[in-house]
Amino acid sequence: MTTHRANTISKKNKPLASLVSLGCAKNLVDSETMVPQILAHGYQMTEHPTQASLIVVNTCGFLESAVEEAIQHVLEMGRLKESASCEKLVVTGCMVQRYGKKLLSLLPEVDLFLGTSHYHRLGEILLASRDGDSKKLWISRPLSLATSQSPRMRSTSSFSAYLKIADGCSNHCTYCMIPHLRGPYRSRTVEDALEEASLLAAEGVKEINLIAQDTTAFGWDRKNEGELISLLESLDTLEGVEWIRLLYVYPDRVTPHLLRTMAQAKKIVPYLDIPFQHCVPRILNAMRRDGSQVDAERLIDAMRRHIPNLALRTSLMVGFPGESAGDFRRLLQFVEETQFDHVGVFAFSPEAGTRAAKMPFQVPQDIKEERRHTLLELQRGISRQRLQNFVDRELPMLIEGFHPETNLLLSGRLAVQAPEVDGSVIITAGEAEPGEIVPARITVAHDYDLEAEILPFSG
């Protein structure tokens, strides 16, 4: 959960607003584009919802568990209409897009509901509401796309930012709601993405993380499969930016050209986030995801041949309908042999409205959870072993600031650790400022984190 903080000194007589952002990094970027709309409407941002007269909750709706979390947050904020200064409660995002009219009776304390189709019109809708428009639900097919001209107030650190290069999805996996929640895949132009990247660099951003539902599909909606390469090559020359990272990479679109581009670049970090989901062809076909274990093995071999120091993150799903004990053993073997650096494991959730929810041979919940735990335990050992290979090495590290648990130690990340989702480096000796990329010697490896000492600059 992210609560947007004020970036200016509080001004007298301005009402306060607070925005709570739930879900993924892509949702966070949407939230960051809503803040300027709120400010333009005459509010001052606060990170304390109890002080706000306007509260906006930007929700996730991908899984039922995320919906339940979102509803709890909305109910909590709704209580502030009685116990605090809240006068207007607005709920936006994927949960609204998914459930629409059902929310009107379920959450009567909410004044406005905006789907993913309307977050870019928040300021306009707030104005209409203030002027007497009684419409509470704003929802349609999502087709909008933020550009470099869309005002944005980042809530991440001053030195690291997400750059959303596309929105929506056209893959239609059988377990996934994203095409319904986000609309069809639509990507920005190379020129527009570069314009925003230049603006980020001018603000002092050192690390740009490219995000989309599928970053490797960038430009494919315009029948131009080479646009991602063009974007990466241009970003690699962008002054001020030092690390460029690719997140949400689709396996079938990782081409030799992309790998060569990454290998030859100076600023693209050796890291790929590539969600394989499974390794058994029958399961992948039922998911409507192309590929097989053999293809995955060949792809991983090609990636590591092109980029020997590549760090791989993947997400895997256990308990998909029809997954047998033998299928799960094959998945364990695949993970053991591949030696991923980072793995996210999800138990299949039969989401209403998806084809997979109606499939036969549903796996019992207790078995799904057992398999998830088993796979996570396997990855825990793999992670510690792979991190052990960093011990005694000297590597560049991005300083993030004080460690979340103590102001006595600094914390940072290596290029092979993405923000939020991967581990971090605990700094036990040396000094540096947040945002600096400094040389460090790795001293200790844990399950997911490292310890290091900052080294003096050589020359």
DSSP letters along 61-129, please?
Answer: -SSHHHHHHHHHHHHHHHHHHHHSS--EEEEEEHHHHHHTTHHHHH-TT-SEEE-TTTGGGHHHHHHHH
Residue 292 in this model has a pLDDT that exceeds 80: no
Single pTM value for the model: 0.91
Residue 216 in this model has a pLDDT that exceeds 80: yes
The amino acid at 222: R
Task: Enumerate the CATH 3.40.50.12160 domain ranges in the chain, comma separated.
Answer: 2-138
Provide the Cα torsion 26, 30, 35, 36; round to 10°: 120
Task: Enumerate the CATH 2.40.50.140 domain ranges in the chain, comma separated.
Answer: 394-454
pLDDT at 403: 83
pLDDT at 188: 96
pLDDT at 458: 62
The CATH architecture that domain 394-454 belongs to is Beta Barrel (2.40)
Mean pLDDT of 281-285: 93
Arithmetic mean of pLDDT over the chain: 92
Query: What are 385-417's pLDDT values in tens digits?
Result: 999 999 999 999 999 998 877 778 899 999 999
Task: Enumerate the CATH 3.80.30.20 domain ranges in the chain, comma separated.
Answer: 160-388
Superfamily of domain 2-138: Methylthiotransferase, N-terminal domain (3.40.50.12160)
- CATH 3.80.30.20 is held by the domain 160-388: yes
DSSP letters along 235-303, please?
Answer: HTT-TT--EEEE-S--GGG--HHHHHHHHH-SSEEEEEE---B-S-HHHHHHHT----HHHHHHHHHHH
Give the pLDDT band (50/70/90) at residue 5. very low
Give the pLDDT band (50/70/90) at residue 132. confident
Angle (CA) 188-193-196 rounded to 5° is 135
pLDDT at 9: 38
Residue 150 in this model has a pLDDT that exceeds 70: yes
334 — phi, psi (to 5°)? -60, -45
pLDDT at 10: 44
Residue 349 in this model has a pLDDT that exceeds 50: yes
Per-state percent for the chain, helix, strand, coil, to nearest 5: 35, 25, 40
Residue 352 in this model has a pLDDT that exceeds 80: yes
pLDDT at 8: 41
Give bridge partners of residue 412 from the DSSP assignment: 399, 425
